[in-house]
Structure 1
Amino acid sequence: MAPARPGPHHSVTVVGIGADGWAGLTDTSRSALRDAQVLIGGPRQLELLSGECAGLRVTWPSPLRPAVAGLLAAHAGRRIAVLASGDPMFYGIGRALAEETAALSVLPHPSSVSYAAARLGWPLEDVEVVTLVGRPAARLAAVLHHGRRLLVLSADAATPGEVAALLRDRGFGPSRMRVLEQLGGPQERASDETGAADWTRPPGDPLNIVTVECRRAPDAPRLGAVPGLPDNAYEHDGQLTKRHIRAATLGVLAPAPGELLWDIGGGSGSIAIEWMRTHPSCRAVTVERAAVRAERIVRNAERLGVPGLRVITGAAPAVLAELPSPDAVFIGGGLTAPGLLDACWAALPDGGRLVANTVTLESEALLADAHRRLGGELVKLAVAHAVPVGAFTGWRQAMPVTQWAVEKAPNPLPGDDR
């Protein structure tokens, strides 16, 4: 059961605080902290407070997120102030609090990202911001593009070294890096700019942000920002939706921010991976019955920057009942499994999309029948590659792919003759 949201009488004020501590706060923020009966924050943040703050000091437990509702309930009816680093609504505790209470007041402070952009002269609208706080470093791989600037929010002092190692491994060793520590505070300092390939700097202050100017090595593969990555970007055993078919398939699946995809018969995971690469908030679950292939999907997802891909080892439709409702479904294998197509269709909400690809006559017959019953678009996709024919060049035809794509329309209301 979801926790009850505190009522309006449960006053919660979130105060952003920087490395400059009490001295850097506005009068409004100081007043809120002096007036609070309960002060909640991390040990480092609580230590920055003045002795003028007489409220009960409570340190966040770990893990933090599950404790939020309980702490608010435990101090219900008292004036609560929560301390946050920088801007509470930018990868901060503000989001979790907003999900728990409607009586929220936020007093932001400049974030480390704002300070970093100011120090470097980088317009924020031209910078990619990636947080590695509580998240794997592999997420960074999805935003590596030659010439782009990145600001990486570090989890701790070890993060810069992890970033450098990932850049080297992904073919971005020539990228230029700096570490900015204690931004906005009296102990602020910046490292010299160094190439990721030559990074040997030992861990420094845990409160840091990593700046990266991306430069791709000449021999590194170029991975674009749209679906249709080169086939050699994937580890596979031949069970791979090939590049041109993959791009066409993602086009009709039409991922949008925040949406969830079911990828049935994952193979190498290429459809789910490229779905998730379209936007950081896109989610996917891939179902693959072969354990070896499921493990390969995990490796591909990590290498291509979407380690959050959920991989289910099992057979569909049996494993589908426990999955969250999808916004779209792709069936790349197992179409002839009894009940699979009907189960996927039933799981889709109104407006959901279903796309199925096949190269066999048996599965093609199922898609033709589904097209007759449910509508949508039935197409045949054919790709040919130029290959040597003696001293000349000819076309080698790949197996044609039959694709059915359909959007689930709402059921008409009784008496609705539309």
Structure 2
Amino acid sequence: MPARPDPDLLALDVVVVGIGADGWAGLGGEAREVLGGAEVVVGGGRQLGLVPEGVGGERVAWPSPLRAGVAPLLRERVGRRVVVLASGDPLFYGIGRLLCEVLGRVPRVVPHPSSVAYACARLGWAVEETEVVTAVGRPVARVAAALHHGRRVLVLSAGAATPGEVAALLRERGFGPSRMVVLERLGAGEETIAEGTADTWARQDGDALNVVGVECVRQDGALRLGAGPGLPDAAYEHDGQLTKRHVRAATLAALAPAPGELLWDIGGGSGSIAVEWMRTHPSCRAVTVERHPERAARIVRNAERLGVPGLRVVGGAAPGALEGLPTPDAVFVGGGLTAPGLLERCWEALPDGGRLVANTVTLESEALLADWYRRYGGELVRLAVAHAVPVGGFTGWRQAMPVTQWSVEKNARSGESA
């Protein structure tokens, strides 16, 4: 919720009421009383159609685009009793969150069981152990980040085509044997359930109001992708510009992503650092800057395949390409360290408590990092990884190029010794 409420909406009398597919019949006494006293009822066309004629006052459908039209619509109704209809629980991927942002306060909310509650009740799944991914207004590719063998996932569908898109994604990501259950019109008298596997899914017709349940089964031979940092290098399409698995894991540990935080990934290469930053939590965000168009396009493909299609890719060279970007919580510099003014621009952009991590394999950049370490402190380490390889009929070690890494947290004491 924003810190500054909209002064024009402070006097608005508004209540948010959740309603299910069963419409008026499924509403409790509180919700019916609120709707009966409304002078204006606002909602989507489907929600408005669930309330009987004669209940409430003026019917108003949400405009499109929604976000830009909410505040103007509500301002015109100040002084009247307004009820906003929402599908299910208004604060679970519903209009309730947007209203809190627009109003600058929490309105009265009368919730209804969500589609997730209904689906878990029908399937016998524990809600707290079920991953929920929404495809409403978001790419279905986000489901890929939730795919782990043995886990249960619920996908909130955008329409009748979503189950087929989910099935195709499961097949492409190596989860074809997964069980799929499509639950339609949950809570209504005419509920339907269709079941199959992603490998055999061919159902085309169905109701637009549906939820897809997935019991994840990874097919034999499919690449295993864990939940932590350090995915196999084979998970990425790359041209050699890839932070290798073990160094990547150490780098993510130094960056220390937390829910809701934003990363600048400078010199993205294949995008592996930004991708794995975003995979740590659905609310993590990242912007990767890459000056080579082919690599930038490759980053987009890697992000979509690994379930974080929201990764923003900015084409251009840093520091110029950094202008106008939102304030980061952390910055990773994986390339271009010696570009004039780059480290200075990154340091300036970081807020108090922000982290900066830089990796290099060259002596010139190593000298630069040593100088910044002397001035600002932090931690300067050298990461050396060796892999066992055949040596004739025996086995020996092949040393990879060592990586020098500087990591530092910006705070009021940073640079006192400079």
For Structure 1 versus Structure 2, the TM-score category normalised by the shorter chain is over 0.9
Number of residues of Structure 1 aligned to a counterpart in Structure 2 = 411
User: Residue by residue, what CA displacement relative to the aligned partner does 1:36-89 show, whole Å, maximum 9, x if unpaired?
Assistant: 111111111101112231411011122212211111112112111000000000
The answer to whether the 8 A contact 2:9-2:75 is kept is no
The answer to whether the 8 A contact 1:9-1:103 is kept is no
The amino acid that maps onto 2:277 is W
- CA shift at 1:8, angstroms? 4.2
The structure 2 residue matched to 1:288, chosen from 278, 287, 290, is: 290
The amino acid that maps onto 1:91 is Y
Kindly tell me: are residues 247 and 103 of structure 1, through their superposed partners in 2, closer, same or farther at Cα, counting changes over 3 Å? closer
- CA shift at 1:3, angstroms? 8.1
What is aligned with 1:18? 20
- CA shift at 1:178, angstroms? 1.0
Kindly tell me: are residues 297 and 5 of structure 1, through their superposed partners in 2, closer, same or farther at Cα, counting changes over 3 Å? farther
- CA shift at 1:186, angstroms? 1.0
- CA shift at 1:6, angstroms? 4.5
The answer to whether the 8 A contact 1:16-1:107 is kept is yes
Report the Cα distance in structure 2 between the residues aligned to 1:71 and 1:411, rounded to whole angstroms. 49
What is aligned with 1:87? 89
Write out aligned runs for 1:183-332 (5 A): 183-191=186-194, 193-332=195-334
Report the Cα distance in structure 1 between the residues aligned to 2:389 and 2:7, rounded to whole angstroms. 65
The amino acid that maps onto 1:174 is P
Matched, 1:151 2:154: yes
Matched, 1:176 2:179: yes
- Secondary structure of 1:113's partner? helix
- Secondary structure of 1:22's partner? helix
User: Residue by residue, what CA displacement relative to the aligned partner does 1:249-301 show, whole Å, maximum 9, x if unpaired?
Assistant: 00010000000000000000000000000000000000000000000000000
- Secondary structure of 1:94's partner? helix
Kindly tell me: are residues 233 and 62 of structure 1, through their superposed partners in 2, closer, same or farther at Cα, counting changes over 3 Å? same
- Secondary structure of 1:165's partner? helix
What is aligned with 2:364? 362
The structure 1 residue matched to 2:65, chosen from 63, 66, 71, is: 63
Matched, 1:128 2:131: yes
Structure 2, unmatched stretches of 5+, are: none
The answer to whether the 8 A contact 1:11-1:103 is kept is no
Greater mean alpha carbon deviation, residues 291-300 or residues 51-60:
51-60
Report the Cα distance in structure 1 between the residues aligned to 2:204 and 2:26, rounded to whole angstroms. 30
- Secondary structure of 2:323's partner? helix
- Secondary structure of 1:284's partner? strand
Matched, 1:117 2:120: yes
Matched, 1:161 2:164: yes
Report the Cα distance in structure 2 between the residues aligned to 1:257 and 1:244, rounded to whole angstroms. 23
Report the Cα distance in structure 1 between the residues aligned to 2:182 and 2:323, rounded to whole angstroms. 47
Structure 1, unmatched stretches of 5+, are: none
What is aligned with 1:339? 341
Report the Cα distance in structure 2 between the residues aligned to 1:383 and 1:330, rounded to whole angstroms. 20
Matched, 1:377 2:375: no
User: Residue by residue, what CA displacement relative to the aligned partner does 1:138-181 show, whole Å, maximum 9, x if unpaired?
Assistant: 00000000000011100000000000000000000000001100
- Secondary structure of 1:197's partner? coil
Kindly tell me: are residues 20 and 137 of structure 1, through their superposed partners in 2, closer, same or farther at Cα, counting changes over 3 Å? same
Write out the 4+ residue segments of structure 1 that deviate beyond 2 Å after TM superposition: 2-9
Q: Percent identity?
A: 71
The answer to whether the 8 A contact 2:248-2:273 is kept is yes
The answer to whether the 8 A contact 2:9-2:74 is kept is no
User: Residue by residue, what CA displacement relative to the aligned partner does 1:105-161 show, whole Å, maximum 9, x if unpaired?
Assistant: 100000111011111111101100110000001000000000000111000000000
The amino acid that maps onto 1:180 is L
- Secondary structure of 1:286's partner? strand
Report the Cα distance in structure 2 between the residues aligned to 1:265 and 1:392, rounded to whole angstroms. 39
User: Residue by residue, what CA displacement relative to the aligned partner does 1:285-322 show, whole Å, maximum 9, x if unpaired?
Assistant: 00000000000000000000000000000000011121
What is aligned with 2:99? 97
- Secondary structure of 1:322's partner? coil
